[in-house]
């Protein structure tokens, strides 16, 4: 992803103090606040190591290789809420309208890369991640990103309003975001599952965007086992889809 690396250089700054970064051989340095961000396996790491230790690193290591039973079960569960089981594939529909070499970022990408020009951001250093960063405070400069993707990520963030605020900051005017979240879905952790979202909740979170379209989609049927009495309940799962145009007023007022 050499082309991505060149593009990333123009897009990022220090996520702590928003100053320009100095590029060294094996790291980036902020001359203002003295923060240092190492380049590891091709990814720039913006995560504070003390923070990283608070996560379940062992579980995440399993996810990277998908070998254990837990990882297989987890990934099977994940497929229930992502596009692979939906009647409509919103991510692919969204991407079909994105011309090649646009500035498109996937926040909470995990290990997948949707297309070679997508810049992957995740809090964990999966092999396909370009920027290891907190999606509540990314290193992207203001008004630089054209398209953003969040696929079943928001429910895992304890402060989702900070993510939508960050999206509003980094998106260009007329930039677009697609965000898929579960509405009715059981706890699925890893590392934590904080919220499920309603249409009203999503519209509130994206209230600063000039246009916000929420679609409700009937997801797959899943079975829930409850112990000690083992019984099975059929529950409909809903997926929400948000597509919002970036708030336009700031560009009008600055001219
Ligand atoms: Zn700094």
The chain-wide mean pLDDT, for the chain, equals 76
The answer to whether the CB of 103 falls within 8 A of the CB of 115 is: no
Distance 27 CA to ligand 1 centre (A): 14
Distance 243 CA to ligand 1 centre (A): 32
pLDDT tens digits along 38-56: 999 899 999 975 544 445 5
Rounded to 5 degrees, φ, ψ at 178 are -115, 130
Whether the bond into 17 is cis, omega within 30 of 0: no
**CATH for 56-253 (3.30.465.10, 3.30.70.380, 3.40.50.150, 3.80.30.20):** 3.40.50.150
Picking from 11-20, 44-53, 166-175, 239-248, which range would have the lowest pLDDT averaged per residue? 239-248
Q: Which of 205, 216, 207, 211 is nearest to 240 (CA)?
A: 216
- Looking at residue 228, what is its pLDDT? 29
Rounded to 5 degrees, φ, ψ at 141 are -70, 160
**CA Rg value for the chain:** 19
- Looking at residue 142, what is its pLDDT? 95
Q: How far is residue 190's CA from residue 228's CA, in Å, rounded to a whole number?
A: 24
Cα 83 to its chain centre, rounded Å, is 14
pLDDT at 225 over 80: no
Residues with CB under 5 A from ligand 1 (ion): 14, 16-17, 19, 30, 32-33, 35
Q: For the residues 212-217, what does the mean pLDDT come to?
A: 76
The answer to whether the CB of 91 falls within 8 A of the CB of 178 is: yes
Distance 29 CA to ligand 1 centre (A): 8
pLDDT at 26 over 90: yes
Q: For the residues 1-18, what does the mean pLDDT come to?
A: 88
Establish how many alpha carbons lie within 13 A of residue 232's alpha carbon, considering only the half-sphere containing its beta carbon: 4
pLDDT at 233 over 90: no
pLDDT at 103 over 80: yes
Distance 140 CA to ligand 1 centre (A): 13
Q: How far is residue 39's CA from residue 57's CA, in Å, rounded to a whole number?
A: 19
Q: How far is residue 182's CA from residue 217's CA, in Å, rounded to a whole number?
A: 10
pLDDT tens digits along 114-139: 999 999 999 999 999 999 999 999 99
- Looking at residue 114, what is its pLDDT? 93
When pLDDT is cut at 50, 70 and 90, the band that residue 208 belongs to is: confident
Q: For the residues 182-188, what does the mean pLDDT come to?
A: 72
Q: For the residues 137-158, what does the mean pLDDT come to?
A: 93
Token digits of residue 131: 């920027």
Distance 131 CA to ligand 1 centre (A): 16
pLDDT tens digits along 52-98: 444 555 555 555 555 566 666 766 666 655 544 445 677 888 899 89
Q: Which string of DSSP letters, residue by residue, matches 20-36?
A: PPEE-SSEEE-TTT--E
The answer to whether the CB of 236 falls within 8 A of the CB of 186 is: no
Rounded to 5 degrees, φ, ψ at 171 are -70, 145
Rounded to 5 degrees, φ, ψ at 227 are -100, 155
């Amino acid at each position: 992803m050499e082309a991505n690396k060149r593009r990333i250089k123009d897009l990022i700054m220090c996520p702590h103090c928003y100053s320009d970064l100095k590029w060294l051989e094996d790291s980036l340095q902020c001359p203002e606040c003295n923060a240092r961000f190492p380049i590891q396996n091709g990814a720039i790491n913006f995560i504070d190591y003390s923070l990283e230790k608070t996560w379940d690193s062992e579980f995440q290591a399993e996810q990277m290789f998908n070998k254990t039973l837990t990882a297989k079960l987890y990934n099977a569960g994940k497929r229930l809420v992502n596009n692979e089981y939906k009647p409509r594939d919103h991510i692919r529909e969204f991407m079909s309208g994105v011309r090649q070499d646009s500035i498109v970022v996937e926040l909470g990408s995990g290990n997948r890369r949707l297309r070679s020009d997508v810049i992957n951001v995740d809090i964990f250093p999966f092999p396909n991640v370009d920027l290891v960063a907190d999606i509540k405070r990314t290193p992207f400069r203001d008004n630089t990103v054209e398209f953003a993707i969040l696929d079943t990520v928001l429910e895992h963030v304890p402060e989702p309003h900070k993510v939508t605020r960050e999206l509003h900051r980094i998106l260009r005017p007329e930039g677009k975001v697609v965000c898929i979240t579960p509405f009715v879905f059981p706890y699925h952790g890893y590392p934590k599952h904080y919220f499920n979202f309603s249409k009203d909740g999503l519209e509130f979170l994206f209230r600063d965007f000039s246009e916000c379209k929420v679609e409700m989609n009937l997801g797959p049927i899943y079975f829930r086992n409850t112990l000690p009495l083992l019984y099975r309940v059929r529950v409909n799962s809903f997926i929400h889809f948000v597509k919002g145009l970036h708030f336009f007023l700031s560009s009008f007022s600055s001219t």
